[in-house]
Every structure is written in structure tokens, then in C-alpha cells.
Amino acid sequence: MSALLTIRGLHKRYGERQLFNIDTLTLDAASAYVLTGVNGAGKSTLLRILAGLERGDCDSFEFDGKLLRLHPYPRELRCDIVYVHQHPIMFSTSVAENIGFGLRARGMHGAALAQAVDRAIEWAGMEHARDTDPARLSGGEKQRVALARAKVLRPRVLLLDEPTANLDGPAREQVIALIPTLLEAGTTVVMACHDRDLIGLPGVRRLKLRDGHIEYRPQKGEHDETP
Ligand SMILES: Nc1ncnc2c1ncn2[C@@H]1O[C@H](COP(=O)(O)OP(=O)(O)OP(=O)(O)O)[C@@H](O)[C@H]1O
């Protein structure tokens, strides 16, 4: 496995409070991780820093073999690293428009755009709501549209912030079922979560944010049983 992203000395402060000071964070290409930690440990903040949505400082930052700065955040990384919020915000247009928005912004149009949107809608199982205003969707459907909207951009890294939070029953299971297909596409996926079913997905490695540091944990079921 080769490292896609390596950050050394990643630190974040809010005023006097040091939220974390991570020696080394390494994400391999085409790999899946869960990021666990107690409420307030800084999981969302870490993902948002990696996506350039929040400022973080570090000693060195390497992505795909290139040494980059974390701040100001490199423009080209916005295509490669995509963050999906646990309560995604969408335009009050249609599911199809929302999924196509990022591709249009990148210059795709015509048949290629229509085909990519169709495939993403099918992948998310949202054919029934293609022309529906996302405001009318259930929480699980919104999350699936948000995943499709991110996947269609074909990022190298997808950062999912509590993708199953506030979902239960079939809605939760449908979202969990989509995750392995993201991995098959060769994307590196990092999921901040407390969901044992996500943590237990085959091949998913565990990172735990504790006391401001990252602990690399064995995969579920391999060496220990701690959550
Ligand atoms: N803009 C901000 N200013 C000051 N403190 C902040 C700010 N944003 C987040 N925090 C604090 O940083 C800490 C980490 O927040 P974060 O949302 O990253 O944690 P988390 O591990 O994702 O928590 P949860 O599991 O509850 O979602 C929290 O104590 C939060 O209150």
C-alpha cells in the first residue's frame, strides 16, 4: 500500500485550547478508515482541515508524492479531497441538478453530464426522486444524494462526517451498503463515526483520536474487540 497523504505535526487550537497535535497522519491510496473518538475529540475538525474548510497548521504535508502547503489550501486539492457533511446542504432545485452541479462547475455538459448524473442517481437508488426538491427528501435519501454528489466528482479522498448519524432501520442500512462500492472505485474513504456497523465493515482500518493524538488501531475482529 502506498501513502497518498501524509501530514506531520498537524495541530489545531481554538484560542487557548489545543484540540490536537498529531505527530503523523498517513492515509494510503484506495483504503478505508474509520475515525473514532469521544464527542468533542475533534473528528469533524480534522476532516474539515483535510478538506480545506477550516484552517490547520502542520510541519509538512505531502499528497500524491508532492509537498504542499495546508494553508493557504491548494486549489487543486479541492477536486481531490471532498468532504460530505452529516447534514448536507442542497440547492432547492432537484436531485439531478444537485448531483450535476459540481460537474457543471468543472466544465462538463451535454451527454457526458447527463450520463454521469444518471449513473450516480442509479448508484444511490434515487431514480424515484430524480426531479424532487431535496428539501422534500428523508434524512437517509439526503445522505445518499450527498454521497452521489461527492462520488460523481471522482475524488481521490472522500471524507464522510457521521454518514449514518440520525438514521436508523433501512435508511441506515442503505447508506452503509453504499460504502463498499465507494471503496471498489479506488477512493480512499475516511468516515468519522460511532457506528459499529461502519467500524466493522471488512477491510476498514481504525484511527482513534484521543487526547489530541491519533492512535492506529487494529482492524475490527483482527486483534481486539475494543470499539
Ligand atoms: N469554531 C470553533 N471555535 C471554538 N471551538 C470549536 C469550534 N469548532 C469546534 N470547536 C470545539 O472543538 C471541539 C471538537 O469539535 P468537533 O466537532 O471537531 O468534535 P467531534 O469529535 O467531531 O465531536 P462529535 O463526535 O460530537 O461530532 C469541540 O469541543 C467543539 O466545541
User: Considering the domain boundaries, does residue 13 fall inside one?
Assistant: no
Among 12, 38, 39, which is best to mutate for testing ligand 1, by the most ligand atoms less than 8 A from CB? 39
At residue 222, the pLDDT reads 60
At residue 22, the pLDDT reads 96
At residue 168, the pLDDT reads 87
Residue nearest to atom 31 of ligand 1 (CA): 40
Residue nearest to atom 7 of ligand 1 (CA): 14
User: Considering the domain boundaries, does residue 20 fall inside one?
Assistant: no
What are the counts of helices (DSSP H) followed by strands (DSSP E) for the chain? 7, 10
CA 34 to ligand 1 center in whole angstroms:
18
C-alpha cell, 1: 500500500
Among 10, 13, 19, which is best to mutate for testing ligand 1, by the most ligand atoms less than 8 A from CB? 19
Total of domains in the chain: 1
| Domain span at 156 | 31-45+75-217
User: Considering the domain boundaries, does residue 58 fall inside one?
Assistant: no
Q: Ligand 1: list residues with CB < 6 Å.
A: 14, 19, 37, 39-45, 192
User: Considering the domain boundaries, does residue 154 fall inside one?
Assistant: yes
User: Considering the domain boundaries, does residue 63 fall inside one?
Assistant: no
Assign residue 139 the CATH number of its domain.
Answer: 3.40.50.300
How many CA atoms within 13 Å lie on the side-chain side of 23? 6
Do the beta carbons of residue 203 and residue 219 sit within 8 Å? yes
Q: Which string of b and e fits 28-59 if b means at least 16 CB within 10 Å?
A: eeebbbbbbbeeebbbbbbbbbbbbbbebebe
| ipTM surpassing 0.90 | yes
At residue 100, the pLDDT reads 97
Residue 165, amino acid: A
Number of CB atoms found within 10 A of residue 6's CB? 16
At residue 227, the pLDDT reads 47
Do the beta carbons of residue 204 and residue 219 sit within 8 Å? yes
pLDDT mean by block of 10 residues, the chain; 227 residues: 92 94 95 95 97 95 96 92 94 97 94 97 96 96 95 96 92 93 90 92 94 85 52
At residue 32, the pLDDT reads 94
- What ligand 1 atom has the least distance to the C-alpha of 37? 21
CA 44 to ligand 1 center in whole angstroms:
7
- What ligand 1 atom has the least distance to the C-alpha of 14? 4
